[in-house]
Structure 1
Amino acid sequence: MASVSNSKIKLTYPGGQTAKASVGELKSVDPTWEPPACWYEPVFSPKHQDSKAWDCGRIMFWQDAGTIPKDKNAPTPETLATFAYDKVKVPDTEVELKPEGKSTVKLPTWAWLDKATFKDVTVRADLPGTGLWAVTTAKPVALHLEPGTEDAKTFPASGDCPVNEDGSIGDPYKKGNAGQDPPCGIQYLGATSGEPYELKASITWEISWEGTGGAKGDLPDGTFETTQDMNVQEIQSINR
């Protein structure tokens, strides 16, 4: 039996690849979703072309060159789209925070991501000898914050920060914002003691695809999570 690692599917990245020093794999929000377990691919010469299978029932069979077998395990544009989805790499970048390093009890911490940080990620998959192709696109649509303790508030209350029209998330803190609630952020109500809180920030990526013959569709959203240590101090005030 042939392993999927021997697949002849060719992957390209129309928008350029995410920097290898900082990448992560998406996790589908649908726990039951998996990339295709098997499909048939052409092998050998174009003159006498047959197909190979990976756990598909038939190991080999003859097929006219340039044609797609009439079989439930025949490759389709969606097959390639789901294969490409499994190869999507997204930026692994920490959320920018203000104040940095250490927050203060009951004072809001602003959180944001610059519009240049998260862009659409595209992966194209082509299966030579079949004319089949698909382009899978992952589009960032939301940031979700979990403070790492129940003794905290999030802004918005749901913890879900949508993407702005310009592609950014939240707003950078500016002078004059003191005392205001951030459009995206957290407020810790208790100080850390020894161990920092673990702030979890997960980006939701909306997945769509298009392929041969005008075929197109959607796949389950994907998420990628990062964790940041948060130290929270308490400021003492003296009343006279």
Structure 2
Amino acid sequence: MLRGRAVLVLGGLVLALLAPTKAAVADGPSGGVACTPRKLDCDVSVEVPGKPAGTKPGKPANGGGGGGGKPTCALDGEPVPCTSHLGQFNAADACYWRLKDPQPKTRAEAEFTTGLPEDWQPGDPGKFYDVTCPGADRQLMGGMTYSETGPDGGGVDVRALADQAVEALRLEGADIGIAPKPDGVGLVGMPVWIWNRPGETHTGPASASASAGGVTVTAKAKVRNVTYRMGDGGDPVVCTAPGTPYSKEFGMRVSPDCGYRYERPSATVDGGRYKVTAVTTWDIDWEGAGQSGTLTTTRDASTSVEIREAQALNTR
């Protein structure tokens, strides 16, 4: 018989790491909304115990080219400014369109205008544009043009259409998987496994398009990484892969790609649980009507875990 010897209860340790326990304290529901509809720089978050609180549509990452990046345009395969003193570049005819100011008010002022109907009268819904078509052998093209729809069949703002395509991606924060489970209990020093459950809006790649006036802009997004802050003040965990879901047969092994160890129990923080926050960084490319751009944006999610000290028993 053993006397006065401390024996770690390994069976209880494994059970505590993996199985739910009624003693676990769940987070209370919380949430917040700070959003203007159809804006990219807003937060919408709803937190449910044990579930991620995603932000939609989210904020641009600091220094990450938020706002869609600078669009680029091309003429005969060479980059050209999308906007200049000549107006807005229109990929459909490779010309610059600028609304004429002031607009002609008489037939005489509108003389020699391309596309002007014979029955045109002041007050008709069309507009007059100064059109300039740069490039070799195109010097005689352009001039004052009358159009009821404007360039690209409607004067489409390609950059605004890109914003719509990005919003249509419906990107979310990580769908956090974690062992110990949020409704279970983990132990100090034991491996914690973290992963982002697969899903187009959680792990990508994701693609969406927006169309107007015959122009279509497509946005494609992929996750660069997920940064987990574990709630104990330790260094963040940056995971470039989605992570490996925990399974019982892994026992006490360390996660091969996204893991952590707590060095003190969560009883030391308010509520007795560590809040785990995941920040997903998305890289987005968009293109349409001869223009293209890039965007880096982030989405947040969170869950929580309870961590206790491993208990020792004295056996006699």
Which category describes the TM-score, using the shorter chain as reference length?
0.5 to 0.7
Within-5 A mapping of 1:78-117: 78-91=159-172, 94-101=175-182, 102-116=185-199
Find 1:125's aligned residue among 210, 222, 232: 210
Unmatched 5+ stretches in structure 2 = 1-36, 38-53, 70-87, 89-123, 129-144
Find 2:294's aligned residue among 214, 218, 221: 218
Query: Which residue is 1:228 aligned to?
Result: 303
- Aligned mates of 1:23, 1:191 — CA distance in 2: 29
Alignment TM-score, normalising by the size of structure 1? 0.63
Deviation, structure 1 residue 92:
5.1
Q: Give the match's secondary structure for 2:159.
A: helix
Q: Give the match's secondary structure for 1:122.
A: strand
Query: Which residue is 2:75 aligned to?
Result: none
Q: Deviations over 1:128-177 (max 9, x none)?
A: 2xx33211222223221100112x46xxxx511113xxxxx111223443
The amino acid that maps onto 1:218 is T
- Between 1:110-119 and 1:204-213, the stretch displaced more is 110-119
2:240 maps to 1:162: yes
Find 2:224's aligned residue among 118, 125, 141: 141
Within-5 A mapping of 1:1-240: 24-30=56-62, 33-34=66-67, 48-50=125-127, 64-68=147-151, 75-91=156-172, 94-101=175-182, 102-116=185-199, 118-128=203-213, 131-150=214-233, 152=234, 159-163=237-241, 169-182=242-255, 183-193=257-267, 194-213=271-290, 215-219=291-295, 221-238=296-313
Tell me which of the two structures has the higher relative contact order, counting C-alpha pairs closer than 8 angstroms and 6 or more residues apart. 2
Q: Give the match's secondary structure for 1:90.
A: coil
Deviation, structure 1 residue 124:
1.7
The amino acid that maps onto 1:121 is A
Query: Which residue is 1:57 aligned to?
Result: none
Q: Tell me if the contact between 1:203 and 1:223 (Cα under 8 Å) persists in the aligned partners.
A: yes
Shift of the 237–229 alpha-carbon distance from structure 1 to 2, 3 Å rule, reads same
Aligned length: 185
The amino acid that maps onto 1:186 is Y
- Between 1:90-99 and 1:107-116, the stretch displaced more is 90-99
Q: CA RMSD in A?
A: 3.5
Deviation, structure 1 residue 223:
1.0
Q: Give the match's secondary structure for 2:228.
A: strand
Q: Which of 1 and 2 has greater Rg? A: 2
- Between 1:202-211 and 1:187-196, the stretch displaced more is 187-196
- Aligned mates of 2:216, 2:300 — CA distance in 1: 30
- Aligned mates of 1:229, 1:30 — CA distance in 2: 25
Unmatched 5+ stretches in structure 1 = 6-21, 40-46, 52-61, 164-168
- Between 1:115-124 and 1:104-113, the stretch displaced more is 115-124
Q: Deviations over 1:191-235 (max 9, x none)?
A: 11243111001211111111123x33322x111111212211111
Deviation, structure 1 residue 95:
0.7
The amino acid that maps onto 2:219 is T
- Aligned mates of 2:156, 2:228 — CA distance in 1: 39
Q: Give the match's secondary structure for 1:48.
A: coil
- Aligned mates of 2:188, 2:293 — CA distance in 1: 46
Deviation, structure 1 residue 178:
3.2
Shift of the 207–63 alpha-carbon distance from structure 1 to 2, 3 Å rule, reads farther
The amino acid that maps onto 1:48 is P
Runs of 4 or more above 6 Å deviation: none
Q: Tell me if the contact between 2:173 and 2:280 (Cα under 8 Å) persists in the aligned partners.
A: no
Aligned-pair identity (%): 21
